[in-house]
Amino acid sequence: MKRIALLGMPNTGKSTLFNRLSGASARVGNWPGITVDLMSAKILIGGHIAELVDLPGLYDLHGFSDDEQVVRHFLSSNPVDLAIIVLNSSQIDRQLSLALQLKNLGLPAILLLNMQDEAKRAGISIDAEAMSRQLGLPVMLISAKYGDGCPQALQVAARQMEEKPNRVSSQTIASLLEADVQIEQDMLDIVKKTVQMPTQLADKTTDNIDKVLLHPWFGLPIFFAAMFLLFQFIFTAGKPLQDGMAWLLALLRSSVLDPLLSALPSWLNGLLLDGIFNGISTVAAFVPIIVLFFLVMSMVEDSGYLSRAAFLMDAFMAKIGLDGRGFVMMLMGFGCNVPALMGTRVMRSRPMRLLTMLVIPLSLCSARLQVFLFLIATLFTAKQAPYIMFALYMASFATIFLTAVLFKNQYKSSEPFILELPPYRFPTPRQIWLRGWQEVKYFLNRATKFIVIGVVLVWALTHFPTDVPPASSGTLAGQIGTLFAPILNPIGIDSQLAIALIFGFVAKEIVIGSLAVIYGLQGDALSQQIAINIDWVQGMSFMLFTLIYTPCLSTIATLKSESKSSRFMWLSIVWSLGLAWLVSFIFYQGARALGM
C-alpha cells in the first residue's frame, strides 16, 4: 500500500485538509520507531489505495520538541511514497524554509499553499508556476476550508507518487540539517522572485475584532461571558433533545423489551433490563447534549478565538508557573484530558510540560460533563442550571490555578512563550460536522467499552448475595459503601453515590449508568428517586468531588506514558484525591453550618 505523509507548520490548515481528504474514515494507530499515536486514513488516489498519515505540525526538522522528534523518527523509520507539504499562503515568507528542508530529503513531494482565500484578501499574490520552477517540485494554490484546488492537487499528487519511494535515515537528516544557512538564503531568493506582498496587509478585519476581544481590561470578561452564553445555549437547546431521547428509550423498553424478555429467568431479565439497558440508556439520553457541546466547541476552536484566550491569559499564567499554551491545553481538556495531555509535547521545557500535565486532569472533561448535566437537571431548575454549570467550570479553573501555584517551585521553567495569532475564521458546516463527529465517535466508542462492563459489575455488586434485598447494605455494594463511610460521610456522599464514585475511577461515563443500576430505574423515575434521596448540597459536594478526583484510567495511563514516570503519575492521583476530598469537605460542612 502506498503511504503519504502530510507535513506542515502548526496552524496551516493541515488538519482541515486531512479531514477533507479522509472524511470520517480517520483512525488512530501506532507506528514503528515512535511512541505516540498518529491519525491516518485510507484514501483512493490515482487508482491506488494509499494511507494518508497526518504528522504533528513542526516549524523545522532540527527542533527539539517531541513533535519535531516524532516527525524525524517517522520519516527515518517508515518508507514514504509522497510528502504533501502544507504551508499558509499568507505567511509564505516565514514558512518556505520548512519546504526547502523537506525537499532536500529527496522524497517525492508536492507543496500545497493553503488559505489562498485569506492571502488574496491580504493582497498577497503568489506565482505558483514560478515557485515550482525555483523549487523543482509541483506547487498548488488551494483552500482546504472550501475545497478549492483540492481535486487538482490530488491529481498532481498521484503523478508524483509514481516515483520510487525513498527511505530517509536519521544520519541523512542530520547531515542535511547542516545546510540551514543556505536554506535561509534560498528561501529569501524564492520569495523575492515569486511572491508579491503589500507593505501593509489589506485585510483589517482581524485587527478590528482584536481591538475589542484583546482589550487589556475587557478581553477576559468578554471571554468568560462568551463561555457562559455558550453553556446557556447548550442547556437551552439540548434539554428538549435530551427529553426526546429519554422518551424514546423508555418507549423502547415498555413496548418492546419488557414483553420480549418477560419469559427469561428473573435474574437474567434484571441483568439485561435493570442492569445493561438502564445503564446504557441513561447515558444515551445525554448524547444529544454531548453532540451539541462538541459541535459548538469545534466552532470556537476553529475560529481562532482560543489562541486569543491563551494570549489574554499568558501574563496571569506566567505568575503561577505556566504559560498561554497551558491555558489552551486546559481548554482542550474540556473535551478530553487525553489529547490535551498529549498536546503538551509542543513544550520544549520538561518542567513546564510536567506542571501543565499535572493541572490538565483537573479540566472539566466531557465525561464529567454528562454526570453534571444529569445531576444539575435533577436537583436544580432550568433557570439555575447554567449558573451551576458555569460555577463548576470556574471551580475547575480555581483548582488548576491552585495546583499550579503550589507546585510551580518544584517545576520551574524559563522557556519563553511564543504564540502566532491566526486570523479569525468561521468554519464551514462540513468542518464543524467532521470535527464534531470525530469527537463524538471517540466519546461513544470509549463510553460503550467502559459502560457495558461497568454496569454489569455494578449490577452484580448490588444483587449479590441473592438472599438480601438488591442494593441494600447487605449486598457487596452495600458492604463497600459501609467500608468507605467514615471517609465519605463527612462530605455528604452516601453508600449509593460511593459505589458510583468507585467505578468512576475506570471512566466517568460509568457514573450515571451505575446510579441507574443501583436504583433499578431510568429517566425521570431515576431523577425523582435521586432528588428524594439527596438534597442539592449533597449533590453539589458529589459533583465537586467528581470534578476534581482522578478522571479515568485512560488519563492515568497517558500521564504515565507522557511523563515517563510512575512517581509523577502517583503524585497526580494522590493530589487529585486529596484536593477533591478537601474541597468537598469545606463546601459541604460550610453549607451545613449555614443551615442549607
What pLDDT, on the 0 to 100 scale, is given for residue 70?
A: 79
Out of 163, 196, 229, a domain closes at: 196
251 and 180 within one domain: no
pLDDT on residue 517: 78
User: What domain range includes position 520?
Assistant: 221-593
| 207 in any annotated domain | no
212 within a domain of the structure (yes/no): no
pLDDT in tens, the chain (596 residues): 788 999 988 778 887 888 888 775 555 444 333 445 577 888 888 777 888 988 888 887 776 666 777 788 888 778 888 999 999 888 888 888 888 888 888 888 999 999 888 888 778 889 999 999 998 899 999 988 888 888 888 888 888 877 655 556 656 665 665 565 566 677 778 888 888 766 555 556 777 877 888 787 888 888 878 877 776 777 677 778 877 887 888 888 888 888 888 888 877 887 788 777 876 776 677 677 767 777 777 777 777 777 777 777 777 787 888 877 777 778 777 767 876 787 676 676 788 889 999 999 998 887 788 889 889 988 998 888 888 988 998 999 999 999 999 999 898 876 655 566 667 777 677 767 776 676 666 666 655 666 677 777 777 887 788 777 776 778 888 888 888 889 999 999 988 888 888 878 777 877 877 788 778 777 778 888 888 999 999 999 999 999 999 877 778 877 887 888 889 999 999 999 999 999 999 999 999 999 88
Co-location of 177 and 226 in the same domain: no
Distance of CA 429 to the CA centre of its chain: 20
List 39's β-bridge partners, or say none.
28, 54
Any residues with CB less than 8 A from the CB of 451 and at least 6 apart, and which? 279, 280, 283, 507, 509, 510, 513
Distance CA(97)–CA(449), nearest Å, equals: 45
Same domain, 261 and 356: yes
Our count of domains for the chain comes to 2
Q: Do 535 and 428 lie in a common domain?
A: yes
Are 25 and 160 part of one and the same domain? yes
Alpha helices in 412-565 (DSSP H): 429-463, 476-488, 495-504, 509-519, 523-533, 536-548, 553-563
Task: Indicate whether 209 belongs to any domain.
Answer: no
236 shares a domain with 99: no
What is the four-CA torsion angle of 65, 66, 69, 75, rounded to 10 degrees? -130
Which residues is 139 bridged to in the sheet? 111
- If DSSP codes are grouped into helix, strand and coil, which group holds residue 43? strand
Q: Is residue 491 part of a domain?
A: yes
67 inside domain: yes
Integer Cα distance of 518 and 460 in angstroms:
10
Structure pTM? Answer: 0.62
Distance (Å, rounded) from C-alpha 415 to C-alpha 349? 6
540 within domain boundaries: yes
Residue for grid cell 490515482: 46
**160 and 281: one domain?**
no
226 and 175 within one domain:
no
Give the domain-ending residue among 196, 213, 233. 196
- pLDDT at position 29 is 44
Q: Does residue 42 share a domain with residue 143? A: yes
| 205 found inside a domain | no
Could you give the residue ranges of the DSSP H alpha helices within 334-428?
337-343, 350-359, 366-379, 385-407
Please give the grid coordinates belonging to residue 463.
444483587
CA atoms 61, 332, 362, 406: torsion sign: positive
* Helix/strand/coil for 80: strand
CATH classification at residue 37: 3.40.50.300
The pLDDT of residue 35 is: 40
Residues 6+ apart with CB under 8 A from 454: 279, 503, 506, 507, 509, 510, 513, 514
Residues 187 and 327 in one domain: no
- With respect to residue 202, please indicate whether it lies within any of the assigned structural domains: no
Question: Hey, what's the cell of 18?
Answer: 486531512
Is there a single domain that holds both residue 263 and residue 406?
yes
- Identify whether residues 338 and 426 lie together within a single domain: yes
* End-to-end CA, the chain: 66
